[in-house]
């Protein structure tokens, strides 16, 4: 597990500021000279920087850097614009500007009595994340990113009221830990994060008070999950379903069920994918990763809600025993499925886990997350996840939570008209509908495994789980998209009191 930034909170100490040899970041309200109790030459340098053309143009969340400022020991002062009345998003972006520049040197952040400092700390932590466990000392940039625990970046937040700030940052820390758990899982290569390793990492969360069960192949066989098992049958790694329960709510209250696609590697199977870019399919467990990260956050902050997370863990490999195009499998629900393309495997996994989740838990709502289709990237790119729902209220809640957290989400339609595209000559349904509306036919396929009157939303995160470049709050690599959205959804819609 990578343990990114360590953040401490202390009162403002002028001598420490003047003697600090690392970096200093200062939150500044545009137009207001920061009162730092620093030598006059330093204050003059800061003032001139703020009055410069560049300083005048700073938008909330943007930063300006002064190297080797006069009068003090610091390497650099980063002036981060944050008006006293800023939004959550602006405060996180301001923190991210600091997080993006963290080296292994000790950074002091001077927050004064800034109200949004908790969100600044969260933004800093999220952007300061660095998955470098596979860089050894011998790589060129090993000096910057080597993963030894002693070298992880240290940050001290100086504020007028450090205790209040530490308290405000506590929920943020639970969120950051959940996001990091997701990012680590998504960033891990498939030779390390096998289905068994994944299940072990989830089982270890019992430590936090979650109840975690691992269902192995014989049990899945008994349950009749032939759709899921068919996907994994070409792999040396055994297929598994992991059930994580957090019961922080009223006893007997129907839970929210979160279901995740956990394909630890997707070669496409016999319908094999082209070589170029196939290495990215280590992220095809992204939905399961988000479910795991949310469960971690809920447990860490002792959420007063009942939430169950279920993930289907499989590996999609070509092999002598692998599933073939044309195979017909029977799902746990009982419906038969003609497998036209073994690369449309996610929906086969989810069909069985969704059905199991509803049968066993009778949830108040079901939300599944999956890196399900390339087509959603064609439709929405990397800025928005695709949201599908059979329930307008649930869809609205998801979109609202995503908007509040600054995670892009856009609703796409379902409709019975699309069903004709996935009608099969030989079975009840087939697993692909051709090129038109590829993300919708996938969602429409899943809907067949949702019971009547069951509120359900499906979120296709293929474009947002591992975008091609850094985002506001994540370095290049896994984003953990969805942990913050679902955590907020639980808080706003499922927690009592
Ligand atoms: N895991 C992929 C979808 C995907 C593509 C995720 C790109 C992230 C980035 C999924 O299993 C898949 O292969 N889908 C096929 C479906 C098709 C065969 C109907 C696709 O999107 O091409
Ligand atoms: Mn696939
Ligand atoms: Zn896949």
One domain for residues 194 and 114: no
Structural domain count of the chain: 2
Residues 180 and 50 in one domain: no
Mean pLDDT of all residues in 234-254: 98
Q: Which residues have CB under 6 Å of ligand 1?
A: 266, 284, 341, 343-346, 371-375, 432, 438, 462
CA distance linking residue 388 with residue 457, whole number of Å: 6
**Residue 447 domain flag:** yes
What's the CA-to-centroid distance between 341 and ligand 3, angstroms? 11
- The answer to whether residues 370 and 463 belong to one domain is yes
200 and 122 in one domain? no
The predicted structure's pLDDT at residue 2: 57
The counts of H helices and E strands in the chain are: 16, 17
pLDDT above 80 (res 1): no
The beta strand positions in 317-436, using DSSP E, are 328-330, 336-338, 365-370, 385-389, 409-411, 429-430
Closest protein CA for atom 14 of ligand 1: 373
Determine which residue's CA is closest to atom 13 belonging to ligand 1.
343
Q: Which pLDDT band, with edges at 50, 70 and 90, does 137 fall under?
A: confident
Q: Is 1 within the bounds of a domain?
A: no
Last residue of a domain, one of 163, 197, 224: 163
Whose atoms come closest to the Cα of 280: which ligand? 1
**Residues, Cβ < 5 Å to ion ligand 3:** 263, 266, 284, 346
Query: What was the pLDDT predicted at 112?
Result: 78
Spacing, Cα 393 to ligand 2 middle (Å): 31
Of the residues 113, 141, 163, the one at which a domain ends: 163
One domain for residues 390 and 411: yes
Classify the C-alpha dihedral 226-232-235-237 as positive or negative: negative
pLDDT at 152: 78
**Average pLDDT in the chain:** 94
The catalytic residue positions are: 273, 347
168 inside domain? no
For residue 37, pLDDT over 50 is answered with yes
Whether 178 and 90 share a structural domain: no
User: For residue 133, how many other CB atoms are within 10 A of its CB?
Assistant: 15
Average pLDDT of the residues in 124-133: 96
Q: What is the CATH number of the domain that holds 154?
A: 3.40.220.10
Is residue 390 situated within a structural domain?
A: yes
Cα 266 to averaged position of ligand 3 atoms, centre (Å): 5
Contact between 279 and 303 (Cβ < 8 Å): no
pTM score > 0.85 for this model? yes
Do 87 and 150 share a domain, yes or no? yes
Domain housing 197: 174-494
The DSSP line for 239-254 is PEEEEEEEE-S-TTPP
- Distance between CA atoms of residues 368 and 387, nearest Å: 10
For residue 149, pLDDT beyond 50:
no
In a mutational test of the pocket of ligand 1, which residue from 315, 343, 444, 466 has the highest number of ligand atoms less than 8 Å from its CB? 343
- Residues 428, 360 share a domain: yes
In a domain, 159, yes or no: yes
- Angstrom distance (rounded) from CA 474 to CA 479: 6
Confidence at residue 143, expressed as pLDDT on a 0 to 100 scale: 45
* Same domain, residue pair 89 and 216: no
Confidence band, pLDDT 50/70/90 cuts, at residue 141 = low
User: Once rounded to an integer, what is the mean pLDDT over residues 276-286?
Assistant: 98
What CATH number does the domain containing 399 carry?
3.40.630.10
pLDDT at position 146 over 90: no
Task: Please give the Cα distance from 142 to 438 (Å, whole number).
Answer: 42
The answer to whether residues 157 and 201 belong to one domain is no
Q: Which of 163, 188, 219 is the last residue of a domain?
A: 163
Cα of 374 vs centre of ligand 1, distance in Å, is 5
Residues 132 and 186 placed together within one structural domain of the fold: no
Radius of gyration of the chain (CA): 24
Asked whether residue 79 is assigned to any structural domain, the reply reads yes
What is the average pLDDT across 462-473?
Answer: 98
Tell me how far the alpha carbon of residue 332 lies from the centroid of ligand 2, in angstroms.
Answer: 21
Q: Which of 101-105, 148-152, 213-217 has the highest mean pLDDT?
A: 213-217
**pLDDT above 90 as % of the chain:** 87
Ligand 1, residue 434: give the atom nearest the CA.
Answer: 19
Q: Are residues 285 and 405 in the same domain?
A: yes
- The CB density around residue 432, as the number of other CB atoms within 10 Å, is 21
Tell me the pLDDT tens digit for each residue of 184-221.
999 999 999 999 999 999 999 999 999 999 999 999 99
Question: What's the rounded mean pLDDT across residues 292-298?
Answer: 99
Q: Counting ligands in written order, which one lies closest to the CA of residue 385?
A: 1
């Amino acid at each position: 597990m990578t343990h990114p930034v360590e953040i401490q909170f202390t009162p403002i100490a002028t001598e420490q500021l003047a003697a600090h040899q690392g970096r200093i970041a200062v939150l500044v309200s545009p137009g207001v000279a920061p009162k730092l109790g620093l030598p006059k030459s330093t204050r003059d340098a800061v003032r001139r920087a703020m009055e410069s053309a560049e300083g005048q143009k700073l938008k909330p969340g943007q930063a300006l850097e002064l190297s080797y400022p006069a009068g003090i020991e610091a390497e650099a002062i980063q002036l981060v614009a944050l008006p006293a009345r800023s939004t959550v998003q602006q405060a996180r972006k301001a923190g991210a500007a600091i997080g993006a520049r963290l080296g292994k040197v000790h950074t002091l952040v001077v927050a004064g009595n800034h109200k949004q400092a908790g969100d600044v700390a969260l933004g800093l932590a999220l952007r300061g994340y660095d998955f470098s466990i596979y860089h050894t000392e011998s790589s060129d940039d090993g000096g910057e990113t080597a993963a030894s625990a002693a070298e992880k970046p240290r940050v001290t937040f100086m504020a007028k009221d450090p205790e209040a700030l530490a308290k405000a940052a506590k929920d943020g820390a639970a969120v950051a830990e959940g996001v990091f758990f997701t990012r680590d899982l998504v960033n891990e290569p498939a030779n390390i994060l096998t289905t068994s390793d994944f299940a072990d990492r989830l089982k270890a969360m019992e430590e936090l008070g979650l109840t975690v069960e691992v269902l192995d192949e014989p049990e899945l066989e008994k349950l009749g999950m032939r759709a899921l098992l068919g996907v994994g049958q070409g792999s040396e790694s055994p297929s598994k379903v992991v059930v994580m329960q957090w019961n922080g709510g009223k006893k007997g209250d129907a839970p929210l069920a979160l279901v995740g696609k956990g394909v630890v590697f997707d070669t496409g199977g016999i319908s094999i994918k082209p070589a170029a870019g196939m290495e990215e399919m280590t992220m095809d467990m992204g939905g399961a990763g988000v479910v795991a990260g949310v469960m971690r956050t809920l447990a860490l902050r002792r959420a007063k809600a009942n939430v169950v997370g279920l993930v289907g863990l499989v590996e999609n490999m070509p092999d002598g025993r692998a599933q073939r195009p044309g195979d017909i499998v029977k799902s746990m629900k009982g419906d038969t499925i003609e497998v036209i393309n073994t690369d449309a495997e996610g929906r086969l996994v989810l069909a069985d886990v969704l059905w199991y989740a509803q049968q066993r838990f009778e949830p108040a709502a079901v939300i599944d997350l999956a890196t399900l289709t390339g087509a959603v990237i064609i439709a929405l790119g990397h800025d928005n996840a695709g949201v599908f729902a059979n329930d307008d209220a649930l869809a609205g809640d998801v979109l609202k939570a995503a908007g509040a957290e600054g995670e892009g989400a856009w609703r796409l339609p379902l409709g019975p008209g699309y069903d004709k595209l996935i009608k099969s000559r030989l079975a009840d349904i087939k697993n692909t509908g051709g090129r038109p509306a590829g993300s919708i036919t996938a969602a429409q396929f899943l809907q067949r495994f949702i019971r009547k009157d069951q509120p359900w939303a499906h979120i296709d995160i293929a474009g947002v789980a591992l975008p091609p470049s850094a985002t506001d709050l994540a370095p290049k690599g896994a984003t953990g998209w969805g942990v913050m959205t679902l955590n907020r959804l639980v808080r706003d819609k499922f927690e009592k009191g």
